[in-house]
Amino acid sequence: MSTVTKIDETWQEKAACRGPHATVFFPPDTFERKEQKEHREMRAKAICAQCSVKEPCLEMAIRIREQHGIWGGLNELERKSVGGL
């Protein structure tokens, strides 16, 4: 019989990124200019900066090696440098 460890991810319910503005955390399906990407990421990071669950969010993104979006205030390249993706 195996034991499954349940990871506490209830922090997601408290995340500031939930709701209609969640789209700023991921690139659009269409082409995005560099300036547009920088502006979108800046908006997402501003939301993260005020979030009470920023740290567990970042920890999860690093743990699961999330390849896309802003998580815990960092984009893909920034997470790579701190988490070794």
- Tell me the C-alpha distance between 81 and 43, whole Å: 21
N-terminal to C-terminal alpha carbon distance within the chain: 33
**pLDDT (tens digit, 9 = 90+) per residue, 20-39?**
888 999 999 999 999 999 99
Q: If you write DSSP's letter for every residue of 55-66 in order, what string do you get?
A: HHHHHHHHHTT-
Residues in contact with 9: Cβ distance below 8 Å, sequence separation at least 6, in sequence order: 56, 60
- Tell me the C-alpha distance between 85 and 73, whole Å: 16
Q: Domain map of the chain by residue range?
A: 53-85
pTM of the model: 0.82
pLDDT (0 to 100) of residue 63: 93
